[in-house]
Chains A and B, each alone.
Chain A
Amino acid sequence: MQTELIPAKVFCASHAIEQSFIQTLFESGLIDITFIEEAPFLPAAQLEQLERIVRMYFEMDINVEGIETITHLLHSMHSMQQEMNVLKNRLRLYEPGF
């Protein structure tokens, strides 16, 4: 399966952000970058996550360390919500109105 890649400079230009910001996120492990002939490219599948990070950083003034923590917590929250859903469905076997 081929991954669709977006040039980092195109993303940065459309969001009016510095390319160095993308590099910082890459170094912190928050995003993946693919280098083609030394030019950075972003997987299209992670654009949603990247835009969320851009909003946290520029709108909410959260630093990269804070974003790392939030991302981790949101991931845990998502897993817990999924688990809760499975348990709720199981509980419905015994309490139909639940």
Chain B
Amino acid sequence: MDFVDYYKILGVDKQASVEDIKKAYRKLARKLHPDLNPNDKEAHKKFQEVNEANEVLSDPEKRKKYDQYGKDWQHADQFEQAKQSRQQQPFSGSGSFGGNYGEEDFSDFFSSMFGGSGNRSQAKFKGQDYNAELQLSLRDAYTTHPKTLTVNGKNVRITIPAGVENGQVIKLKGYGAPGRNGGPAGELFITFVIASDTKFKRMGNDLYSTEEIDLYTALLGGEKIIDTLSGKIKMEVKPEVQNGTKIRLKGKGYPVYKKEGEFGDLYVTWQVKLPTNLTEKQKEIFRELSAS
């Protein structure tokens, strides 16, 4: 466990007054607070350090203990004694700043010295929000299905609605960290990460795919069995179809999010595959065609 220099984190010297500490904390909070840096994990992490430093240095009792033992952290025996006396007489808190942080947001160093996140203000605050990522394949997200996630050791069963987008975030109320002083629990934000599919490309609710047809079908027309996400279908290929021709299959695309029974379209591009390894006879026929 590394020694944490709270003065350095706040950028103040050891003689700093309570007012200086408050000022330094507020300045850093304005820069790093998660409310001002949504989805910025780095800022969130730094703010936790700043918050912890403020928690200790803004409380005269905790600051005194930190000044006395903090830098000599390796003297474990002394700390153990201090810890035992703390357990008998826990800190009552300075009543200074509020915050949105649970016990898990404080370092091991803090917990060893002060035993948890402290109890600063009596104001009720909502618990910290959690963020999680859920990886899905394009085919998984095609249908509404249940999924069980484990977030911070807790099993969360959710129903994933068909048609979720890559990068889409859903909020689960009350699945974040517990609230402080009886405040409500935070939220759990789940970001869907949908992997690219080798067969289908998605743009909004529409799907795009490429299907190969041979030269003879392209010239003379015929039928082709193609893949869609809802199964295989037989398609008619018109005679003399050009390479790169795009066909729209209405309602065969991706489900529209939270609109049951509504689907986008599937666009199929014909890719004409030219024959190889021609026999002499075939070459002769092509020569004849070419000359005609």
**Cβ-defined contact, B123 with A15, below 8 A:** yes
> Quick check: A56 and B35 within 8 Å, CB to CB?
yes
A89 with B35: CB separation less than 8 A? no
A15's nearest neighbour on chain B, judged by CB, is B123
- Decide yes or no whether B26 CB sits under 8 A from chain A: yes
A93 touching B203, Cβ below 8 Å: yes
Q: CB within 8 Å of B: which of A12-35?
A: 14-17
The reply to whether the CB of A80 lies closer than 8 angstroms to some CB of chain B is no
Q: CB distance A16 to B123 under 8 Å?
A: yes
Closest to A96 in B: B196
Contact with A along B156-189 (1 / 0, CB 8 A): 0000000001111000000000000001000100
Instruction: Report whether over half of chain B's contact residues are helix, strand or loop; otherwise say mixed.
Output: loop
In whole Å, how far is A56's beta carbon from the nearest beta carbon of chain B?
6
With both beta carbons as reference points, the residue of chain B lying nearest to A88 in the complex is identified as B167
A52 CB-CB contact with B under 8 Å: yes
Chain A residue nearest in CB terms to B99:
A59
Contact B30 A62 (CB under 8 A): yes
Contact of A60 among B29, B167, B187 (CB under 8 A): B29
In A44-95, the 8 Å CB interface with B consists of 48, 51-52, 54-56, 58-62, 70, 74, 77-78, 81, 85, 88-90, 92-93
Nearest CB in chain A: distance from B190 CB, A:
15
Any A CB within 8 A of the CB of B124: yes
Chain B 195-227 interface residues, beta-carbon cutoff 8 Å to A: 196, 201-203, 208
List of A residues within 8 angstroms of B38 by Cβ: 74, 77-78
Q: Which of B33, B39, B201 is within 8 Å of A55, CB to CB?
A: B33
- Closest Cβ neighbor of A58 among chain B residues: B98
A59 touches B165 (CB 8 A): no
Interface size of A by CB at 8 A reads: 28
How far is A54 from B100 in the complex, measured between Cα atoms in Å?
11
Q: Which residue of B lies closest to A90 (CB)?
A: B203
Q: Are A16 and B196 in contact (CB under 8 A)?
A: no
Q: Is the CB of B35 within 8 A of A16?
A: no
Residues on A with C-beta less than 8 A from B202 are 89, 93
CB-defined contacts of B17 to chain A, threshold 8 Å: none
A51-B126, A85-B168 given; 10 more Cβ-contact pairs under 8 Å: A14-B124, A15-B98, A55-B99, A56-B36, A58-B97, A59-B98, A77-B38, A81-B39, A93-B203, A96-B196
**30 interchain pairs (CB within 8 A)?**
A15-B98, A15-B124, A15-B125, A16-B122, A48-B187, A51-B125, A54-B98, A55-B98, A55-B100, A56-B36, A58-B97, A59-B29, A59-B33, A59-B97, A59-B98, A59-B99, A60-B26, A60-B30, A61-B26, A62-B30, A74-B36, A77-B38, A81-B39, A88-B167, A89-B203, A90-B203, A92-B196, A92-B201, A93-B202, A93-B208
Q: Which residues of B contact A (CB under 8 A)?
A: 26, 29-30, 33, 35-36, 38-39, 97-100, 121-126, 165-168, 183, 187, 196, 201-203, 208
